[in-house]
Chains A and B, each alone.
Chain A
Amino acid sequence: MLKILVCAEFSAHVLVPLLENLFAEQGVSVSLQVTEFSDPELLPSLHLSEAPDYLCLLPTVQHLKLRQLKSDGSNFVETEAQRWSGAGELFCQRYPTTRILLANFAFTGEPIDEHAQAINLCWNEWSRSNSTAQIVRLHQLSLMKGVELWSDPRLWYAARLPCTLDQLGAFAFEIVKTMLSRLFPLKVVVVDFDNTLWGGEIGDLDPTQINLGGTPDGEAFVDFQFYLKELIAQGIILVGCTRNPRQVAELPFKHNRQMVLALSDFAHIEAGPDNKATALEKIRDLVNVGLDSMLFLDDSSFERALVQNLLPAVSTPELPADPALRVAFLRQLIVTEAPLSSTGRERNELVRQNIARQTERQNYPTESEFLCSLQMKASIRPLLPADRPRLVELLERTNQYNMSGLRLVPKDSQVLGLTLEDRFGHHGLVAVALTHNENDGLMIDNFVMSCRVASRGVEESFFNHLKLLARQEGLAKMSMVYVPTEKNIHCLDILRRNHFVKESTAWICDAASPLAPHWVSYE
């Protein structure tokens, strides 16, 4: 049950049934509490019986106008931006597990927009530096709808509604979409080729004759490819999926100058006669992400229906038949967040490297011979301020290998990180442990590891180092906090493989028993 506290400057109770329905459609049950007020300074003093998972702040441009009339003009933008973001931060100091959603100001077509937009920009900046905050993009939504469709001043004066009844559904959808983008982040886009990346079928046409550029539909296909490039820059992993043989599927990339995407833009291309559901399962295993982190784009309603039926966890939107409508459709559907770290931006390339490693695996008779051949070198060290963006990314985005689910670093925790490289390249910072000393043991408040390096001996090396640190401090045991979720079942294997034993609420292991694999050298 997701607990959401909505604090709004309008009659937000009308959003409750809409939000409940939208969350239920996604299989998420929620408990909503709505308060209406214009004074975010009061937020930190709200007395709640338990911390909400989300604090959803919904200011209105109508109230902003009133405050501008009363303002002396000095620092209006900074003061107004800080009023909401600062109050959210104070609230989170009191309830450290709560995440913040802040809706930016809608477009009105009035002079206030100049200030509203400046405040929105401040909030964008703030959300980039505050890992627990996300912006609900009402400004973009209202612009897309247009002022006449979006607002009806009569409803504001009569019922304190910031938009028309018809648009309340879109408003609620924007909130849900933003929240789910963090809870179930999109990681992989799997895209079909024929009639999705270009018009026509490459099996029947010369690669220079496919519909790409030069015609109305052809221009739309070009823009679609630009959009996929944009997603890659946002840290999305791009995978191609086609029933054509690989050498045929690659022809446009080699011989058509209108192609925007290059073969190197794909982390992997799954080519062959398999049906798309089977292909998607192969991609899942190869890329090592959950099906619910995947989006499947295919022009064929047959292929989409097949995937929707066999793999309902994969997001399979009804891509518009008209290629000109597809980018706008996807922009409304997908919320991506700019990656915080360089590792995040290079995710597509890192996955490419990883798939090359897996292909190499076939050349070795045993797993351990293959792992030895990788020449892995790990370095374990306390994190530096420069590592913070990557730390935040690991804590926020990792679900499968996240022991306690803790997304923040407790004040008294030490943070150790592991960076890894091998003969294929650098993995960057791939695992972190948050620890503190407690009585006679080293307590691990959370251990988080990127799924890209799972089953390589990384966790054993890390635990071995922690055991060494524990022994140096005269501590006999190591304890781990493990909070089971739907997704972190692999953590249980890690605990068992590393001889942790459950004792009441914690998992304990002896600090004296080293268990490091010989194929990872570390310092």
Chain B
Amino acid sequence: MSETERLFRAIREELQLPDLVLTLATTANDVNGWDSMRHLQIILRLEREFGMKFATRDILGARNVGELYQLIQAAKRP
């Protein structure tokens, strides 16, 4: 499974929306139920999934799924 697929799957599971269509351009506002609490749950899930930690500024800072993906990639760089 590609990293974007892993990202999408984690988000779908945290939102409990297995059929949700996600792209890198999807924002929280596009999805019913993606409120601030769910967003925090998604962030913590992604930290567990990808074995990384988001910086405080990034916890609520990402504007769309693509930016979440970039933050995960950036965390992997040495």
Closest to A156 in B: B56
Neighbour of A159 across the interface among B54, B57, B60, CB < 8 A = B60
Q: Is the interface of A mostly helix, strand, loop or mixed?
A: helix
CB–CB B54/A154 < 8 A: yes
Q: Does A158 contact B (CB under 8 A)?
A: yes
Q: Is A313 located at the chain interface by the 8 A CB criterion?
A: no
B10 / chain A contacts, CB cutoff of 8 Å: none
In the complex, the answer to whether A158 meets B37 with C-beta atoms within 8 Å is: no
Does B40 contact A161, Cβ atoms closer than 8 Å?
yes
Q: Is A302 an interface residue (CB 8 A)?
A: no
Q: How far is the CB of B38 from chain A (nearest CB, A)?
A: 10
Q: Let me know if A158 and B60 touch, CB within 8 A.
A: yes
How many of chain B's residues have a CB under 8 angstroms from any CB in A?
11
Q: Residue of A at shortest CB range from B44? A: A165
Instruction: Tell me if B17 is interfacial: C-beta within 8 Å of chain A.
Output: no
B59 touches A (CB below 8 Å): yes
Smallest distance from the beta carbon of A330 to chain B beta carbons, Å? 30
B27 within 8 A of A: no
CB pair B44–A154 under 8 Å, yes or no, is no
Q: How far is the CB of A77 from chain B (nearest CB, A)?
A: 31
Q: Is B36 part of the binding interface, using a Cβ–Cβ cutoff of 8 Å? A: yes
Smallest CB–CB gap between B32 and chain A, Å?
16
A154, B56: Cβ atoms under 8 Å?
yes
Query: Considering the chains assembled together, what is the distance between the CA atoms of A161 and B41 in angstroms?
Result: 13
Closest to A166 in B: B44
B residues within 8 A CB of A157?
A: 56
Find out whether the CB atom of B40 lies under 8 angstroms from the CB atom of A165.
yes
Cα–Cα distance between A219 and B55 once the two chains are bound (Å): 47
Q: A158 touching B44 by the CB < 8 A rule?
A: no
Q: Is residue A155 within 8 Å, beta carbon to beta carbon, of the partner chain? A: yes
B41 touches A158 (CB 8 A): no
Across the interface, name the chain A residue whose C-beta is closest to B39: A159
Residues of B in contact with A (beta carbons under 8 Å apart): 36-37, 40-41, 44, 54-57, 59-60
A-B contact sample (20 more), CB < 8 A, given A157-B56, A158-B56, A164-B44: A14-B37, A153-B56, A154-B54, A154-B55, A154-B56, A154-B59, A155-B40, A155-B59, A158-B57, A158-B59, A158-B60, A159-B36, A159-B40, A159-B59, A159-B60, A161-B40, A165-B40, A165-B41, A165-B44, A166-B44
A-B interface, 4 closest residue pairs, ranked by CB to CB distance from nearest: A158-B59, A154-B56, A157-B56, A14-B37
Q: Show the binding face of A for B, using Cβ within 8 Å.
A: 14, 153-155, 157-159, 161, 164-166
22 A–B contacts from the bound complex (CB under 8 Å): A14-B37, A153-B56, A154-B55, A154-B56, A154-B59, A155-B40, A155-B59, A157-B56, A158-B56, A158-B57, A158-B59, A158-B60, A159-B36, A159-B40, A159-B59, A159-B60, A161-B40, A164-B44, A165-B40, A165-B41, A165-B44, A166-B44
